[in-house]
Amino acid sequence: MTDPRRTPAAAFRDAHDGAGVEMAYAGHNTFLKGDPCDVDDVAADVGVLGAPYDGALSNRPGARYGPEALRRASAWWAYLSNYKGGLTNVNTGAQVDFSDLSVADCGDVPVFPMDRERTAESIEAHVATVAERAFPVLLGGDHYCTYPAVRGFAEGAGHDTVGLVQIDAHSDTVTESPVFGGHYHGSSTRLVAESPWSDYEHVSQVGIRGYEGPDFAEFVAESGIDCYTMRDVHERGITDVVTSAVQAAAAGTDAVYVTFDIDAVDPGVAPGTGTPEPDGLSSHQALRAMEVLGTHDAVGAADLMEVSPTHDPTDSTDILGAFLLVTLLERLFAE
């Protein structure tokens, strides 16, 4: 006798093994196909939040669309792991099973496009809530969002001192802009360093290039910031530079927050960003940086910022951005 409670859909799924494999482009748009979750109910290794805000940009807008694009791109690796029953990372030789990594996608934080202060409060509160329960990952959004996210991480995780590893083309240490003031994406690192949870001696930067203010060299020498330019990367190699950077940020701190501005990557590789700078990291260098960071026990939170998908019709920037986070999480949780 047929069970009247058993639907045709259930019968079909039971009869076909492939029905349990969700294609990368199907289903809910969550990071790594993680379970949708209310921010107050996170019970996972990683809690993902989006910050679809680009009201603090100084150049091309579009980073508000970054969280959605990064989620969509990340589905590929979840699909592969599900389809193949685990994976081998060909670059590292590591055996990886993303089913060992539990991801809760908490959706996007409330943002207020015409109210930067309230948006910052929202990011801080939601990251703090996740940090009490899981490893927080923030999908940006412009780079100003990192400042309230670091505050929220420190508060939620109960850390007194937080180090920052910033992979970026720009130092983001502007004190005051006559146009944008003192709170925008060019000032986020200064704001972190001046907060109660950090200072410049706990900040490491990788990939800085282009042009900074006339007193930048003096600022680096006097502030104690650990700054590695692209020339340092070229001369010393990405592995050595990132290893030194994370060790410096971890020294004397309770945990390290990793922020990756996608404009750290050369715009020939990742053009989908608001403030592109030539002579950036290659895909290999960027991914290697995340591999190194993912082996360090002090790393307790991360973000990926400034992806602007409207400036890259090939989706290459979105894919690389998602792969950078996937690589970090793989090394931290899934090997």
- Known binding-site residues equal 143, 168, 170, 172, 261, 263
Nearest Cα neighbor of 276 from 209, 181, 188, 190 is 209
Which residue numbers belong to the known binding site for Mn(2+)?
Answer: 143, 168, 170, 172, 261, 263
- Concatenating the DSSP letter of every residue in 48-74 gives EEEE---TT-SS---GGGHHHHHHHHH
Side-by-side strand order, sheet with 255-261: 35-36, 103-108, 46-51, 135-140, 299-305, 255-261, 162-167, 203-208, 226-229
Contact predicate 62/107, CB 8 Å: no
- Concatenating the DSSP letter of every residue in 177-236 gives BTTTBTSSTTSHHHHHHTSTT--GGGEEEEEE-S---TTHHHHHHHH--EEEEHHHHHHH
Count CB atoms within 10 A of the CB of residue 108.
20
